[in-house]
Amino acid sequence: LRKDFICDEYQVIETAAWGADVILLIVAALDNHLLRELYNASVACGLEVLAEAHTPAELKTAITLEKAIIGVNSRNLKTLKTDLATARDMALTIPGDRVSIAESGIKSRADIESLEKRGYRGFLIGETLMSAPDPAARLEALRTDVGPV
């Protein structure tokens, strides 16, 4: 996954050349025309697209990208605060046939299980792992509920 602020077709070509499988397109950072252009270029390069939304309006736009994986980021990009209610609430409007990923604010196995019940099939977890004294042990706890780490 190239997790970056993609805003130019050159970056799409670069991503494919570097051997990535998936590219992140942040709906909030792109106007509709550029979003569609970058999506089409990504698909043409053989990349999967993770279309990231933070609001219901952005989610509606992301869903129009027919083959995109839908990412819902629970981090408010203006305040940088996270609230998993964002992912939980927005899950209700993601079509059941779309792969969806919950992003940010995931701290426990219970969070993952709650989001899985709402249809999320993948998770982007950064801060929880990066702030852990032992990231590998923390990941194992998230995967298997071995208790706090």
DSSP per-residue letters across 17-52: HTT-SEEEEEGGGS-HHHHHHHHHHHHHTT-EEEEE
pLDDT at 148: 54
Of all residues in the chain, the percent with pLDDT exceeding 90 is 94
pLDDT at 127: 92
Mean pLDDT across 23-43: 98
DSSP state of 72: E
pLDDT one-digit tens code per residue, 50-73: 999 999 999 999 999 999 999 999
Mean pLDDT across 93-105: 96
Of all residues in the chain, the percent with pLDDT exceeding 70 is 97
pLDDT at 55: 96
pLDDT at 77: 84
User: What are the strands, taking DSSP E only, across 54-148?
Assistant: 69-73, 100-103, 122-124
pLDDT at 78: 86
Question: Rg of the chain over CA atoms, in angstroms?
Answer: 16
